[in-house]
Structure 1
Amino acid sequence: MPLLCQTKHRCLLLCLGLSVLVYLAIYVKTPPPESQPQEETPSCRPLSPQCGAFLPGREDGVQWHRRDCQEERLILNSHLNCSSLPSDLHFITQPLSREEEDYPLAFIVTVHKELELLVRLLRAIYMPQNVYCIHVDAKAPMEYQRAVDKLVSCFPNVLRSSRSERVTYAGFSRLQADLNCMKDLVFSKIRWKKVVNMCGQDFPVNSNLELVRYMKSKLWRNRNMTPGTKQPPTMRHRTELQHREFKGSHVAKTGRKKGPPPHHLQMYFGTAYYALTRDFVDFVLKSQIASDLLEWSKDTFSPDEHYWVTLNHIQEAPGSYVNGSWEGSIRALKWRDQENQHKGCKGHYVRDICVYGMDDLPWIINSNSMFANKFESATFPEALDCLEQWHRLKALRQAAVPVRRSWLLGVPTNATTLYVNISSSGG
C-alpha cells in the first residue's frame, strides 16, 4: 500500500475504487426483490362438468374454472397484507343493497379444523355491514389458532371469541361456545338485528339478501327461529338422567336421575341451530330463568338441542314463539333414518348425517334452506366448489350496486360477457 499510495489523494481514490468493486460484486450476486423468483400460484381443481347444470351459459357450452385456490397460502403467508387480502380472497367489500345495509346480521361460527373451509365459508356469508364471531375450539392446533387470528385481524367486523372452550360432541361445552360469542357480540358497535349460528362444515344456500328478507318476513319479523317440539319420550333420557362430559372427548351417562327443570319449565327438543332477535339474546344473558336453565343443563346430553327451543316457548321471552313447532328452514340436512324423504345420501354418512357429494346439489338447491350441512373438502371437494360458484353468482345477480371483478370466484370461457351481464343485472 505505501508504494501505491504515494500521496493522500491517490490513496483516497484507490479506497473509493475498491469500495465500488465490492459493492458491484454484492449487487450482481443479489438481484433486486422484483427479480426474485415468485412462488407459483397453485393449480386449482377444475369444476366438475356436472356443475355446468347450475351455472349460467349451459346452453352455450360455457366452461367454468375457479379463479384461484390460494385461501390457505395467503393466510399462512408470514407477510400477510391486510390491505389487499379481502380483494385477493374475493371477499365482497361493500353492501350489495340498501335493504341489506339497513338490516345487519350477526353470525356465530364454531370451528376446530380445515382452514380452507373456514375461509370459504366466511367469504360466502361475509358482508361489511354484518358482524361475525369465530369460536375456535381450545384443543385445535396452535398453528390453526394463529392462522384464524391472522384472518380475523384483517376484518374490522370479524372477531374471535374472547373465551374458547374444549368442545365435546353433545356436551355442554358446545352450548357454552355459542354463549361466549353472544357475550362478545352484544358489545359490537354494529347494531345487528338477528344472530344465526353455524359450524365449520356448513355452507349457505340463501344469499345475504335472501336471509334478510326471510328474517323480515311476516312470520319471522319479530320472532325467534328455533325449530323443535315438546320433548318426545324417546328423548327424555337426555334431561332426566345425569351425564358427565369428558372435555374434548365424549359424554357418558352416570346412571343417576336428575331433578325436574327449574321454574316448572316444559322441556322441548329441537335443533342446535337458530335465528334469534337481539332482545332475546339480552334475555338469555340477563334473565334468571335462562341462567337457572343453563345451570340445570350442565349435566344433560346435548343441551344445545333443548336450551334455545325451550326458552323460545316461554311467554316472557322476547320474540318467543309459544305455539311454534318445526317451522323455519334453517338447515338442509339428510339424516340416515329419513331416506324415504330425501332419496338417500350421494356422499357418505357421518354420525347419521350426510356429507354431501356432487349428486346431492339439486336437492340442496331446491330445499331453499338458509344453510346446508355437511361438507368435507377432502372427500367430496367438487360439491363445495360447485355450490360456492352457484351461491356467489346468485348474490351478484341480486346486487343493486355495480359488481367488481374481484368479487367473481369463477371464470367462464367468456369472462367479459359474464361480467357485463352481472353488472347490469342489479336490483
Structure 2
Amino acid sequence: MVQLENTKCSFLFCLGICVLICSAIYLKANISNAPIPTNDSQSLSASKTCDILPPATPGFQWQRKDCKRISYEPKPDSNCTRLQSELHFIMAPLSKEEEDFPLAFIITIHKELETFVRLLRAIYAPQNVYCIHIDDKALEEYKTRVRSLSGCFPNVFLASVSEKVTYAGFSRLQADINCMKDLVKSPIKWRRVINLCGQDFPTQSNLELIRYSQGSEWKDRNMTPGVKQPPSMKHRTVFSYVEKGNHVAPRAKGPKKGPPPHNLTIYFGTAYYSLTRPFVEFVLSDPVAKDLLEWSRDTFSPDEHYWVTLNHIKEAPGSRVDGEWEGNIRAIKWRDQEGRTHQGCKGKYIRDICIFGTGDLPWIIERDGMFANKFETASFPEAVDCLELWHRHKVLQQASVPIQPSWRLTTEVEISNSTLTLTPEDCV
C-alpha cells in the first residue's frame, strides 16, 4: 500500500512537471509568434534624434514638448477646447495672407487613427475646410472616433456619402466627387481644393501651399500632372473592368469599350491634384465632364486619367492644355527612377513605391513638394514623427501672429537638463 502511494505521488509530481514544461513551451511559442502591436500609440516612437530640425540655440537642444503619452482617440463626450489644446491644433490664422485665401482638402482614410489625426493637425487652419471620406468598409469604432474628432471643429466634416473603396477602382474616384459635392455647399468660400490619402504628409506649410499655387506659373490654373495616354496604359481604358472585393479585374468575356465621349483625348497622370474652385464647379455640372465620368465607371484606376483629361479641355476653367508632368504635388520615390531622381529607398518598396524611412527625409525636404507619399507608421513610425516636428517648426517660424504655447511640438532645453532625446517616452 505504501508502495502504491509512493508510485501515485511520483506520477502526480511528473505530471505536474510535464504541465509546467508544456505551458512554458506554449507561452514561448505564442510570444515569439505574436504580431508586433500596431495600435496607434506605437507610432509615437521616434528616433533618438531628428537631424532635419534646424540647429538649436547654443547650449540648448530640441526636446519634444509631449513627455507623456496623449490620447489620439477622442470620445463622444470629449471637451473640444481641451482636445484642441492637448492635440496641438493651431486654432487661429497665422497670417492675413492665409486668412484671405482659404483652401479645401479632401482626405480619404480607412485605418490608423493616430496617423490621420497627425496629418489633420499638420494641415489644419480655421479658415480652411476639410471633407473626410472614410472607406465604408472601415471598422465602426474607427468611424465613430473620426466622427467625434470632426465634431470638435466647425470646418471639418465627414462626406455625406461613403463609398466602399477598392484600390484602382471607380469607387476611389467617386469618393472625391462625393466630397466635392459637399464642399461646394460649404459656407466657407475656399479657393482651391487638394486631395490627400492617409499615407500623405505635408512638406510645405499652409502659407507655402498658397504662394506656390498663386505664383506666376499656377495662378488660377489647375495642377494635374500627366501626359497623353502612352501605349502601355491603353489597356486601362480599352477594356472593361469590374471591382471584385479588394481588387479590380477585367470583365470576363466582355467586349472592348467604345471610344471616349465627345472625341476626348485620354491623358494619363497622377491621381493627386490642386484644383481651382471654378474647375470643380465645371466637373460637377458640365455635360462633357459628366459623360466622361460615366464612361470611366468600368475603367482601371480612372482617377489617373479623369482629372488630367478634363484639365486638357480648352473650355475647362483654369485648364492647362499644353501641360505635362509639371506641378510639384508629391515627392514620391518610384523604384524604376532609382539612380535618376533619387538614390534609393531608405525604407522599403511596396508596389514599387518607397515607404519612407528617416533616411529619406533629407531628400523629401530637398524636393520641396507640396506633400510626400508614402508613410507607414507600422513600419517606420520615426519617419512621420520627425517630419512632423520639422514641419510644425517651419510653420510657426513663418507665422506673423503671436504663437500660443499649445501650438508647439518641440521646445528648447538646456543640454545639462535634458536626456538627449525627442521621444515622449524618455524625455523628462
- Taking structure 1 as the reference length, what is the TM-score of the superposition? 0.84
Any conservation in 2 of the 1:171–1:301 contact (CA below 8 Å)? yes
Unaligned runs of 5+ in 1: 1-41, 416-427
Cα distance in 2, alignment partners of residues 224 and 347 from structure 1: 32
Paired amino acid for 1:128? P
1:309-354 CA-partner distances (Å, limit 9, x unpaired): 0000001100000001100000000111111121111101111111
Quickly say closer, same or farther: Cα 1:44–1:176, change in 2 above 3 A: closer
Cα distance in 1, alignment partners of residues 192 and 281 from structure 2: 12
Quickly say closer, same or farther: Cα 1:274–1:53, change in 2 above 3 A: closer
Quickly say closer, same or farther: Cα 1:336–1:291, change in 2 above 3 A: same
Counterpart of 1:214 in structure 2 is: 212
Q: Which residue of the other structure, out of 101, 104, 107, is the alignment partner of 1:103?
A: 101
Any conservation in 2 of the 1:43–1:68 contact (CA below 8 Å)? no
Any conservation in 2 of the 1:52–1:64 contact (CA below 8 Å)? no
Counterpart of 1:357 in structure 2 is: 357
- Matches of residues 139-288 of structure 1 in structure 2 within 5 Å? 139-246=137-244, 248-254=245-251, 256-288=255-287
Counterpart of 1:16 in structure 2 is: none
Counterpart of 2:397 in structure 1 is: 397
Quickly say closer, same or farther: Cα 1:97–1:83, change in 2 above 3 A: same
Cα distance in 2, alignment partners of residues 330 and 76 from structure 1: 31
Using the TM superposition, give the Cα deviation of residue 54 of structure 1 relative to its aligned residue in structure 2, in angstroms: 2.4
Paired amino acid for 1:412? E
Greater RCO between the two (CA within 8 Å, min separation 6)? Answer: 2
Cα distance in 2, alignment partners of residues 77 and 179 from structure 1: 29
Counterpart of 2:6 in structure 1 is: none
1:378-400 CA-partner distances (Å, limit 9, x unpaired): 11111111100000000000000
- Matches of residues 407-422 of structure 1 in structure 2 within 5 Å? 407-414=407-414
Any conservation in 1 of the 2:52–2:362 contact (CA below 8 Å)? no
Using the TM superposition, give the Cα deviation of residue 412 of structure 1 relative to its aligned residue in structure 2, in angstroms: 3.1
* C-alpha RMSD of the superposition: 1.8
1:56-85 CA-partner distances (Å, limit 9, x unpaired): 3186461422515756x3534454111221
Paired amino acid for 1:348? K
Counterpart of 1:10 in structure 2 is: none
Any conservation in 1 of the 2:43–2:381 contact (CA below 8 Å)? no
1:217-259 CA-partner distances (Å, limit 9, x unpaired): 011111000000000000000001111112x411001253111
Cα distance in 2, alignment partners of residues 145 and 397 from structure 1: 35
SS of residue paired to 1:257: coil
Quickly say closer, same or farther: Cα 1:150–1:128, change in 2 above 3 A: same
- Matches of residues 365-404 of structure 1 in structure 2 within 5 Å? 365-404=365-404
Any conservation in 2 of the 1:67–1:411 contact (CA below 8 Å)? no
- Taking structure 2 as the reference length, what is the TM-score of the superposition? 0.84
Paired amino acid for 2:209? L
* 2:70 is equivalent to residue 65 of structure 1: no
Structure of greater Rg: 1
Cα distance in 1, alignment partners of residues 235 and 57 from structure 2: 52
SS of residue paired to 2:290: helix
Corresponding residue pairs, total: 372
Cα distance in 1, alignment partners of residues 380 and 42 from structure 2: 18
Q: Which residue of the other structure, out of 113, 129, 132, is the alignment partner of 2:130?
A: 132
Paired amino acid for 1:315? K
Cα distance in 2, alignment partners of residues 259 and 242 from structure 1: 10
Any conservation in 1 of the 2:59–2:414 contact (CA below 8 Å)? no
Cα distance in 1, alignment partners of residues 58 and 105 from structure 2: 37
Counterpart of 1:122 in structure 2 is: 120
Using the TM superposition, give the Cα deviation of residue 203 of structure 1 relative to its aligned residue in structure 2, in angstroms: 0.2
Cα distance in 2, alignment partners of residues 299 and 43 from structure 1: 39
Quickly say closer, same or farther: Cα 1:198–1:70, change in 2 above 3 A: farther
Counterpart of 1:3 in structure 2 is: none
Counterpart of 2:424 in structure 1 is: none
Quickly say closer, same or farther: Cα 1:291–1:215, change in 2 above 3 A: same
Counterpart of 1:313 in structure 2 is: 312
Paired amino acid for 1:353? I
SS of residue paired to 1:395: helix
Paired amino acid for 1:295? E
SS of residue paired to 1:106: strand
Cα distance in 2, alignment partners of residues 325 and 43 from structure 1: 41
